[in-house]
Every structure is written in C-alpha cells, then in structure tokens.
Structure 1
Amino acid sequence: MRHGGPPGGADPADIRPGTAPRPAATPKAVGIVWGLLILNTLGSSGAKTILPLPRSLIQMVTMGALGAAFTLALALNLRLRIRPSAFVFLLTLLLVPSVISSLQLESGFGALFRCTRLALFAGTLWLLTRWWDGGLTFVRYHIRIYFAVLGTVVAGLIVSPGAAMPELYGGRLVGALWPLTPPQIGQYTAVITGLTVLLVLGRRTDRAGAALVIVPSLVLLALTHTRTATLGMLIGLTLAIGSLVLTSAAARRFFTWSVLCATVAAVGFASALRAWFLRGQSQENFTSLTGRANVWDALLAAPRTTTQKLFGTGLSDKSFGGLPIDNSWLAVYHEQGLMGLTLVGAIIIALGGVALLRPPSLPRACAIFLISYVAISSYTEAGLGDASAYLLHLALAASLLAAPAGTAPLEAAEVPRRQSRIPRWARR
C-alpha cells in the first residue's frame, strides 16, 4: 500500500532519482486557449462576405479572443509555471526592435497596438509552455480547430457559391462567412492535411477519420489555386516522411507509392497540372510572382536612415506603398530592421537545429513538416514578425520538440527537500 501521496498526484515512491514528477494531464481548457489564439490570427481583411462585417467588429472579435486567451491561460497557470523555450524567448526578444521602431510612430498609433498584440501573444505562449511535453495533444487541437474554420468556408460555398468564388479573386475560393483570402484557406488546408497524413503513418488515428479531414481539405486546396501552400505541403511532407523512412515501414510504403503516383501524374496530366499551376497568368506575370517582385525591388531601393536599417519603421499592415509586401523576410526588414531579421532567422535555425538533433519519431516528423512549410511559405507570404498563423505553426513545432516533462532534471529547490527525508545518521 502506498502512503503520503497527494490526491491525484504522483506518489513519492514512483519518483525516480534525477527526475521530476510528471505534470497532470493537459486540461481541456488549454484547447480553448489554443482555439482563441487561432481565432486571433484569422485576420480582419479579405474577401467580401455574404453578410457585411465591419472591420472594426472583426478586429474587436480577434483582439478580444487574444485577451481572453491570455486571461484563461493565466487562470490555468496561476503559479506561472513555465518551461524553457528558445522559440518563445527569441519571440519575446523580437518585441525589442518592434517597440523601438514603433515608438517613432512612423506607422501611426496602430504600430503600438500591434506591439501590444505581439506581447500578449508571446505571454500566452509562455503560459502554455507548462504543457509542452513533446506530445501530440496540441497537434490534435491544431487540426480540429482549423478544420472547424474550414467548415465555415464550406458553409459559405454551399450558401452562396458566387460570393465564395468571386471574379475579383479570379474564381478562387474565399471565405464568404468570414473574410478569408485564398492563401489563408490554402495554408490551413495544407497544414492540417500534412499533419493528418503523418498521424496516419504513425498509427495515431484511423484511416476513416483521417479521410474525413484529408479529402475535403485537398478539394478546398485545389479550389484556392494556392501554389505556395501546395508546394509547401508537398516538400514539407517529403522531408517529414523522409525522417521516418529508416524507422517506419508504413512511411517507406507511403513514400514509395507517393513517388510512383507523382511520376504517373507528371507524365499523364502534365498539361492539366501546368494549367492549374499558371492560373491563367502570362509567363511574364508568373515570372514576377504576380507583381510581388516589383514591390520587393521598390522596398529594397527605398532610402533608409541608420535607425530604420537597424530597427525598421514599426509594425504595420505588412504593406509598402499601399501594396502588400508578401514576403516575411522583407516585411520583417521593413518593420523591425536588421535586428528583427536576425531574431527571426535565429528562430528558424534554432527550431531546425533541434529537430535535426532529435531521434526519429512522429512528433519530430510533425515538427519538421511545420518548420519546412513555414520556411517555404515565408518567401511569398508575410507573418513571421508579428502575431500570425505562421508563428502559431512554429509554436506547435516548438511544443513537439520540447523534452518530456518526466525526464527533466530536478529543480535546485527540490534537492534539499528530498534530502530532508533522509535520516541524519544516513547523511553522515
């Protein structure tokens, strides 16, 4: 019979020397916090919805979601128990150039508002690190919540196909109930498809349930005509599955069949795939990345002071000269300068380095997929320097790469307490 153990807690007899007791199971409310963070990153501008939603109302909902996420996370972690995280630490440091540049008010008072948003975002992630243990709990949150978001896209497509695939976007799928752009929908579908495929290969979900996620998501991805999301998903999955090939027979079979199917598709449907990829654009327009290259050239050619080069011009709506920048690295350079660029690069390198050093496992493969996807998407999408879905994907990768809590070394404060249980004569 065991004595002295706290109700529902770890029994002292079960604690091995040199290890800390495992924390209690992740509360369900943590999933609500993660969902509120996702709601905050959905954005407030995009396609016209069936029922017009004032931008101020959408901003109130998204910012309110972030405030609620921080408050709930704080209520769940009142003792402020956090785990070390290089990702969240570097993200917190990113506030330094953000605040320094935003205080100049070159981007208006909205820059300070965005700094506050980034601070709350990082603070909420710090509070959630208590439950980052290298498990797949947050992966399931990620898939379920984004699948629910895509459910609103499907509902809008059913209710009003014309509004969901407007001519303004070239007939590409948009959010008709919530203002989601084609790249956003493509991003969400690609990420949950890749993660679900990896869960199937790792035998963490059944094939029927996975098909309910993968098949509709691929259909929506095809309707968005989002090339970056498609390439990011394919390359990310290739790298992730490649990391499992030596240890998983299922991964080897899937990889082999994928190569065969890709070869057949490339030969038999080359013209159809090329037409889908070009989206009816001319070769010149395709070469300039739909006009993005013109904005990038103008941004790099713009004169800047030494302060602007080091710290940027302040957080803005990721645009230059009224046009979207659509490149995370140039957006960070414009808003947070070379210091911000260094920190964002350090985030990607740190996560990638830790992923490479981890032994092969399903969580590691999921992290490799997410890091690869974000790195590829950063070339044509902005978001690495501010609270966004891309940073949330990287936060998920950081949670997957965290060491299991049960193998963490004892805290210094616990050592004397354990020694006090030893009789004095035994300590001599």
Structure 2
Amino acid sequence: MGELRKMTYINQHVLNNLFYILVSIFFFYFLYDYVRFFQRKKVYQRLLFVVCLSVPLILCMKYPIYIAPDCVHDLRQVPFLIGTFYGGWTVSLPLLIILLVARWVMYGYQFITVAVYVMMFMFGSLFSPFFKQLPKTKRMIASMMMTFILAIAATILAIAISDFEVTESYIVDFILVPPVAVLFVVFAMETLREALLIRSKAIKLEKMEVVSQLAASISHEIRNPLTVVKGFMQLMRGKDISEETKEQYMNIALEELDRACAIIDDYLTFAKPFPEKTEPLHVHHELQKVIDMLRPFANIHGVKIVPTLMPATIKGNGQYFRQCFLNIIKNGIEAIEGDGAVYVAVYVAEKTVTIVVRDEGKGMTKEQLARYGEPYFSTKEKGTGLGAMVSIRIIEMMDGTWTMESEKGRGTTMKVTFHLLLEK
C-alpha cells in the first residue's frame, strides 16, 4: 500500500510539470494563430516563444518533483531544451538568463547549475540548425537522443566539478524521464504545427477555388453580351441593311455592352477592399437618394416604391451604402411581375437601426433562399448574382447583420441591421 501511495505521489508531480509545459505550448500556438501581431516578424515570434517557455520553466522550479528523500527534481530542462532546439541561441540565451536568475532568487547561487545549463545552451544551440532541417519523425527521435546525451554530459560535468553522487532516483529522474518528456512535447508541437499548416493550405485552396470560380463565371457572363455585339456588328456589314435596321442593331449592341460593364463593375466592387475612411451617414437621406434614382426604373416596370423613413444615423461609407440598397431595392422591383410595390422602412431601436425592404414579387423557395448570396446564383434569367454578393459584403464590412424571409408567390422581405450612431 505504501508503494502504491508513493507511485501516485510521484506521477502527480511529474504530470504537473508536464502540464505546465504543454499548456504553455498550446498557449503559444493559440496566440501565434489568432494574434496577427506575432505573425508580422520573426522577432515577435521569438519573443512570444521566450515568454511562453519562461512560465513553465519557473513553475517547474517552484513546484518540483519530490520523488525520493535523496532526490528533489524538476523538468525545467524540458522547456529550456525545447526553446533551444526550435529557436536556437536567440531564444535559448534569454531562457538561460531567466533560468539562472530564477534559480538564484528561489534557492540561491550554485556553480554546478550554471555550468550544467551553460553547457546545454552551447551544445543545444549548435544542434538547433541541424534539428530544424529534419522531418517530424526524425525530429522526435533526434530531440530525445540529444536530451539523453546532454543529460549524460551534465552528469559527467557535475561529477568532475564537485563530489556529486549519482543515485538510482537521479538516473531515472534526470537522465531517463527528460528525454521521454521532450519526445512527448516535440510530438505535441509538431502535431500543432502540422494542423496550422493544413488549415492554412485549406484556406488558400478555398480562396483559389473561389477565384477560379469567379474568373470562369465572369468570362462566361461577359462572353455572352460580347458574342451578341459581335453578331450584330457582322450583320451591320451587310449591304442590303436599311439605316433603321442598323440603328436597331446598334441599340441592341450598346445595351449588351452596358450589361457587360455592369457585370465588371459588380465584380470590382466585390473584389476591392472596403475603404477604411468612414463617416456618419443619415440613413433616411441616403435611402431617399437611392429611391429617387430608382423611381424612373420602377415606373417603367409599373412598380411603386413606398418609403417609411425615420431619421437615424450610422457610421459607414456613403457610396457603398447607396450601392448596397440600390441592388437590394432593384432586385425587389425586378422580382415583381406586373403591378406591385416595394416597401422601404426604417426602424430605430435603442442601439440599432433596422432597414426593411419588402417586395410583392414572386418570392423564392426555401432552396433558392438558402443559396441567396452564393457566387453567380440568381433567380433572374440574365442575372449574375453579383449584386446580392456585393450587398452582403458591404453589410458585413459595415458591421451589419441581415436576415431574409421569402415565400413563393408572396414576396420577399430583407431586414438589415446596423449599429445606431448616437448624436453628441
């Protein structure tokens, strides 16, 4: 029973030291992945690595492993060697200084500690360039072997410097346990690095897929009007064509060219970044401008635009805001077959502004509604879907949210919500 208690006690302290080290490694990769500041320069990454490894290094010394009456040990050399292998001397030197200062503050000065860790610093730094060039499996084996060799060298150095007694517990805890711990930590680090690389590659592949899809769709959409223009231009070369027919062909060709320009404009708006400069926007004034621009278009289609606009102010870019709702309201007008109306309303709450655009058009099925905003999905015969994509992108860039409800034969309602800008 006594031996069982002893083993449980030993395992608890060893696992505590390993816990400090592993948590610091996970924390390093978390900050590196989510805080862009650390991705800008390698010096920032090294600084983060030093800080993250210093914490377990100090905690291992503060809470050591009490394994036997003749041996008090800790795993401080594990984060020190990990930093040395992966970071070279630029990481190892700050860690060495922190280790020696912390050791002096906690337990006083001891020459043997300085000698051992200076030796580890020198040989570990020389080993680092070779270590970095190895693949994952070989890194694990090499790190374990190097840690074991350094432990043997440290033992020989300690015996040479002072009357150092090598006990059984020392052999287990200083020579055998650290290589296994380093192997385990290196495996965890390599796994995390692979996960980040795989995710980065997946993001790049996804972007490339979107770009290729956009390029293919753009070329297809532009080719159609250009083909029409080419056909009519060839017809106009005929000798027996009257001036009236030529004029008709010319008007059709110009309409197709205008359509090609509109497609290019939508694509450029979607592709280019949102401007950083923003300003207070009076929602009711901006929407009134959009309505005034679209009213002739609505009259041609026999559609009424019914506004209910409350005064409200948000922060954003006026040009993009108008383009966003021009696309949304225009889609509502085009969705109406015959007579009908598009209702544009503004509702102001305590902290938000909600703009509701409701049309009396043909509506969408659940499947069509789920695909709204996808690249080149449109319910219109000659639609490209870019207008919806542009509108959604602008809403998101202005920190807004949107929801859409639609039912086949009963129209569509789109609600867009922005943060209210309080007037001072």
Which bracket does the TM-score occupy, shorter chain normalised? Answer: under 0.3
Larger radius of gyration: 2
TM-score by length of 1: 0.22
TM-score (normalizing by structure 2): 0.22
Higher strand share: 2
Q: Which has the higher contact order (CA 8 A, sep 6+)?
A: 1
